[in-house]
Structure 1
Amino acid sequence: MTEEDDLPSLGRRLREIREECGLSGRELARRACVVQSTVSRIENGRRIDDPMTVEQVVAALPVNANAAASLRARIRGAYADRRDRRIDAGVSLLGDAARRWERGAATVREFQSAMVPRALRSSEYANAAGASPSPLVDRIGDARCDFGFVVTEGALRTWPADGSMMPEQLDRVARACEMANVRLAVVPWSVPLPVVPPHGFAVFDDEAVVVETFTAQMTITEPDAVATYVDAYARLEAVAVTGEEAAELLARIRRDFEELAH
């Protein structure tokens, strides 16, 4: 692979062209029909899930046909298959690997479609669900760590055991969202998902992903795989409601649990 074919140099060149054309990252994202974080990842030399998305961004740049063709060739070079890569490279099933990231990461982004995110679970909820405790619970109040959560409405409406802990659990989520270092995005049941992850996941510093199973935690550090999860999180966040809309949805779900209890 030549220097021109690597992702950082491709990203730098795309940023240069965008700036020469007088476009902001937000405007380029709008023209390319992608989220702004995707443009940012490409320009910062991070690998994303589908190279066709990079070509989509190139197509949105006001450049001539020859320049566009040259950029597409560089994309193909940068995203060429690495056939010597082991399928299990960058994957660990050791619990200590996950806990190290949970204790030390400065940025945590978690998606859940079946349960409340680990950092927001009360002990009653975790015990009823049979979930293992996470160091993230103790870090949620640490202003040095930035938290982002995307959770489906279905996950917030799914309860373990008799569900008696759910009103307090939802209150706990609402209180956490008042913290300056916490952002909550809820995907309403009525919104189609742009991508459907087969499981929940947490991204740490854009460098590692932790996936929780019934029997273990899998920590993924292979860059291509991590980039896939980062891109999936951004796409899910883009269709979710936040701020007052998320707070209203939380309150509505809590009222439904109160009515269910009676």
Structure 2
Amino acid sequence: MSLKQKWRAGEKILNGWLAIPDSFSAETMAHQGWDSLTIDMQHGVTDYLAAVRMLTAISTRPVIPVVRVPWREPGVIMKMLDAGALGIICPMINSAADAADFVSCLRYPPLGQRSFGPIRALLAHGGDYGSKANELVTGFAMIETQAALDNLDAILATPGLDAIYIGPADLALALGATPRFDPVDERVIAAVHHVLARARHHGVYAGIHNATPEYAARMAALGFDFVTIGSDARFMAAGAAAAVGAFRATPLDAPSNGY
């Protein structure tokens, strides 16, 4: 099932984030109950071959595979779709022209310029993938700059654009605030609400990155359709730090029962 099919059924998507370029960690995340998992090729340390192995690992569970590409570069976008991604998050979409160029990379002619060669997508999504790919694939334009805010309505009006994704850290930088997830600065909060309202007006789905489950739940209740919590790297670091901290805080007196 695609993201759009789930959204049309009224579902909210809980998305996990993969920054570690490893198939085993991706498979482990895939077994934790996420609706979708996003491989981060922009700020993560993942290259193409690692991403393919991760997509294969994700396929061990009915989890929707998404990739954040490094940039609005047609070759990378099309290659990740051929590898089996069903969603593409594209950073730094600053204008309607950027959005239109991005959308064109997601669709086969006559709707776009995507070249045909879905080498792994056929295995992952069925032999009829070519006939259904234009509908299956979901494209997210990231809204994270002042230019994107200035051109927001034009971006959202782009034919074929499925969704937007807010990067709170870059959005905060654009507004003169400290970059962070789970914004507390009123300027950033106001911008988040504005982007969501305009997306709703244009019939475009909306996603946002969050640090904590509590903030993600607030964003879902606010009306976001796609909420991300943390990342595999952050979860590993937090879990390890908690274990080390608990050990360091435990008195090491000899136990009375001998062990």
> Higher RCO, 1 or 2 (CA under 8 Å, sep at least 6)?
1
TM range (shorter): under 0.3
What's the TM-score once normalised by structure 1's chain length?
0.27
What's the TM-score once normalised by structure 2's chain length?
0.27
